[in-house]
Amino acid sequence: MYLEKDDERVLAGEFGETRQKMMEILVALGGVYGAERLVPIASAQVSGASYKTIGRWGLSWLQSLNARVVVPTVLNPIGMPQDRWQEFGIEEEFAARQTEVVEAYRRLGIKIECTCTPYYLRITEYGEHLAWSESSAVAYANSVLGARTNREGGPSALAAAIIGKTPYYGLHIVENRRPQVVVEVESGANHWGAIGYVAGKKVGNRIPIFTDIRPNRDQLKALGAAMAATGAVALFHVDKITPETRVFNFPTDDLDRVTVSGDEVRALFEEKEVEAVAVGCPHCSADELRELADLLKGKTTTKPLYIFAARGVAAANPDLVAAIEKSGARVITDTCMVVSPRMDEFGSIMVDSGKALAYVPGMCGALARIGTRKECVEVATS
């Protein structure tokens, strides 16, 4: 792989051991995927932020690093809210370790906005190269924004943030972003997270293009997040909706075709008793908080109802947060239902997301039930 002179000096250790290690990661990654060069990035998003997922060895590695990021960089959700963690039921020992993780990342110059929806921070635009690692954020950035990022691991995203570049391969190359399979959605399939849950299993790691659907941005978010969880979809297109379908001509006559049927979607909606309800996987947008506030108006929760959102989104919408919490529900920032040990305490959880439906059983050890956002509120207040 071609390296510029300054990059060669970094690799030789002239700018410190940490930067040398980070460059070694990028060079090794580029070698695996046949990258010819590095490309500068506009921003990075680093996963591996919850102490629940990285443990003491991950924390020890982070604390050993001595460098600072050179591009705007944010974190994936951590294992607890940075404030009100006692109220959320987090034990002190876990909180102490999680705080150490946060401080290790802060020392590296990373902005402690812990969210799986970094696109709400307005840190990227069409055509920019990124190094993002959270699967749903990658799908959204590539598909809805038209930015370019591979599905990075936590260490490679951190390496790219510190170096300011990433290997030029995969979805950074325009030619590699063409659709590979057509997905047709039957009219009876009407829950975007559930559609994505089914579609992801059918398309695997291929790039799908959807025809004859018109989802809005929040619906695109739910669709892509679920496909990233049940398949390995890092980019999808929706004909005449997502930006690259309006820039490029994508012939589809010779592509494989799969169908998401109404029966397949309806089969996911099993009625079962749950102990808690969790909404916001990926984190809620302001519009989704507004919908939840309207649905909860005049109601009182009878089961724990946790609504997860980015700290910046919650702070920008205090009236909506207050209206939601008047019902007894809680708006939780910085963490999510998948990476917080708090959710491990429930044996069954109702969610509104195809991504959560896929991840909750394995990550939380709980049975998962999916419903619409309205159904989630009804169950939480019945």
**Predicted pLDDT of residue 356:** 98
Q: What is the mean pLDDT of residues 340-347?
A: 96
DSSP secondary structure, 53-107, as one string: HHHHHHHHHHHT-----SS-EEEPP-SS-SSSTTTTT--HHHHHHHHHHHHHHHH
SS3 66: coil
Whole-model pTM: value is 0.96
- Pick from 123-127, 176-180, 207-211, 302-306: least confident: 123-127
Q: What is the mean pLDDT of residues 333-357?
A: 97
User: Is the pLDDT reported for residue 188 higher than 90?
Assistant: no
Is the peptide bond preceding residue 282 cis, with omega within 30 degrees of 0?
Answer: yes
pLDDT tens track for 195-245: 999 999 999 999 999 999 999 999 999 999 999 999 999 999 999 999 999
**Predicted pLDDT of residue 185:** 96
User: Is the pLDDT reported for residue 187 higher than 90?
Assistant: no
SS3 359: helix
**Predicted pLDDT of residue 123:** 80
Nearest Cα neighbor of 162 from 154, 174, 170, 171 is: 154
Going by the DSSP 8-state scheme, the letter that residue 129 receives in this structure is: B
Mean pLDDT over each residue of the chain, to the nearest integer: 97
Q: What is the mean pLDDT of residues 347-373?
A: 97
pLDDT tens track for 79-122: 999 999 999 999 999 999 999 999 999 999 999 999 999 999 88
**Helix (DSSP H) and strand (DSSP E) numbers for the chain:** 15, 15
User: Is the pLDDT reported for residue 25 higher than 90?
Assistant: yes
- Band of the pLDDT at 38, cuts 50, 70, 90? very high
Whether the CB-CB separation of 169 and 250 falls below 8 Å is answered with no
For residue 160, give the H/E element and its range.
helix 154-163
What domains sit in the chain, N to C, each tagged with a CATH number?
Answer: 5-174 (3.30.499.10), 178-266 (no CATH), 276-381 (3.30.499.10)
Q: What is the mean pLDDT of residues 139-159?
A: 97
pLDDT tens track for 260-285: 999 999 999 999 999 999 999 999 99
Structure tokens at 7: 């990059």
Q: What is the mean pLDDT of residues 130-153?
A: 97
